[in-house]
Amino acid sequence: MIVVPGGQGLITGVSAGVGLSGGGSEGTVTLTLDLSELSAVTPTNGDSLASIDSDGSTEQLTTIAALATLLAGTGLTASSSVISADDSTASAKGIVIVAGGDGIATSYSSGTATSAVDLGTNSGLEISSNKLQIAKGISQHDVAQFTSNVADDDFLRVDGTVVEGRSASEVLSDISAAPAAGSANIVTTGALDSGSITSGFGNIDTGSSTITTTGAVSTGTIDASDDVTIAADKSLNLAQGAHITFTDQILDNSIDDHDYQGIVFTFRAGDTVTPFSPVYVDGNNEVQECDADAIATMPCIGVSVNTSNVSADADCPVLMLGLVRDDSFTDFGAAGAPVYVSTTVGTMTTTAPSGTDDVVQVIGHSIAEDLIFVQPCLTTIEHA
Amino acid sequence: MIIMARQPQALDYTSGTVSDSAVTILGMGSALISSVPTGARSFVGTVESAAVRARGDGTSPSATEGQLIASGDVIYLGESEFSSMEFIRDTSTDAEIRGHFYNVEVDVILGKVT
């Protein structure tokens, strides 16, 4: 039995079709693949290619679209037989599209992307020997900009390797410079060594600091909120028509308890002096409490204004002329009544002493029950 | 010398079904011819519908043993094979064999002898 596949009949010849060469009409014939016979065409989507599978056993037809999909790896996308870069995954691997950002220009040539710094025209910067350097000075278009440490209207100061902003006042302090005329405030810890403070300058407030001068101070009214001290051997000179005036009106409460107002001399205590007691000058030029019982402990020159006992040899302030108030006084209720040295040591009374050898001396007048105007009369009367 | 080529001439036509039992072309189911036409020297037929297996060594073919002949293939049988070549279907689908008996030998038909 002879079997002819496909029902073909007797082969009388083999002809080489398109893409094949060889063949014949008798004997053993050979057909050879001859691609030169194929027409040259531009492949399009939908075309197919002949291929053989991986183990070489099966010839197969492969579409160009399928081949493109196979070849499109990471970063590539095949669509209708066209392979293109996938921008969304370009950063992963594969083809990368290089785009120029601000100040960067990118060009392509023969598949190579070249990125270069685009300094623009008339730039103040240039690249020289791979270094970015200033090509020009700072001009109208080249303003230094800082993002930190610098505020609006600041001046710049180099602190080590850092540029920092300094305010106008800080700059004045930094350079120890005199402030410009018209400045609202002068804040300095240094000395004002020269120049002058002219009329209309305004107030000077030194806080708790002092103002020291060896020259004269010419001024209008002086309002002192503390003691005024005049150095030794210096005078408070009052020119013609000048005077010392105690301005507050004298009333029964014009000064506070234990206050005094007037002229006070500081004596040396010859013995203990109790507060607000009349005193006399003893043989040692020291003051002691008066006693109207005997002329030896008189006359009174003033009233001590110490608020606590003054020990012997200590300073003892004595009011020679003026007001003194002590709410413990009880004998001076009759306003305007003369006040005498009492026969009780260190006390005063509105009753004139009348005993033998008692000394009568008016040392002031009552303003109120606890307020006396001290003005000792040095003329005394001694009872026989 | 004058060579006279013998011209093939169809003597008769037959067709039949090859099922799951081995049969000759004369024993096919519903065979049109059950005996060899007078003067027949060869048979040329076509297998249709399904593949068959054939065996001519005296042992009947089975669904798994025998020469596989695909549907559409053409078979050439010599005179001695009319009753010795047996066929059986290869799958569960019955096949048909349709063809003619000729008055010349197979090699004449195939053009090998003039």
ipTM at complex level:
0.79
Are A12 and B85 within 8 A, CB to CB?
Answer: no
Cβ of B76 within 8 Å of Cβ of A7? The answer is no
Contact state of B72 with A10 under an 8 Å Cβ cutoff: no
Facing residue for A1 by CB, picked from B70, B72, B75: B75
pLDDT per residue as tens, chain A (384 positions): 778 776 455 566 788 888 888 888 766 788 888 888 888 889 899 898 888 888 888 888 899 999 999 988 877 888 899 888 776 655 555 566 777 777 788 888 876 778 877 777 666 667 777 776 666 655 555 556 666 778 888 888 888 877 888 888 888 778 877 666 566 666 556 666 677 766 676 777 778 888 888 888 888 888 888 888 888 898 888 889 999 888 888 888 889 999 999 999 999 999 999 999 999 999 999 999 999 999 999 999 999 999 999 999 999 999 999 999 998 887 777 788 999 999 999 999 999 999 999 999 999 999 988 899 999 999 999 998
DSSP class of residue A68 equals H
Task: In whole angstroms, give the CA distance from residue A319 to residue A280.
Answer: 12
Would you put residue A200 in left (φ > 0), alpha (ψ -120 to 50) or beta? left
Amino acid found at A240: Q
Q: Maximum CA pair distance of chain A?
A: 195
Of A1, A6, A12, the CB nearest to B76: A1
Q: Cα dist. B49→A47, A186, A209, B33, B101 in Å?
A: 35, 120, 129, 20, 21
Amino acid type, A349: T
- Is it true that the peptide bond before B61 is cis, omega within 30 degrees of 0? no
Length of chain B: 114
- Mark which residues 2-21 of A lie under 8 Å from B by CB: 2-10, 12
Sheet containing strand A20-24, strands side by side = A14-15, A20-24, A31-33
Q: Is the minimum CB–CB distance between B72 and chain A shorter than 8 Å?
A: yes
Query: A325: closest CA among A279, A261, A375?
Result: A261
| Residues of chain A found within 8 Å of residue B85, distances taken between Cβ atoms | 1
Residue B29 is classified by DSSP as: B
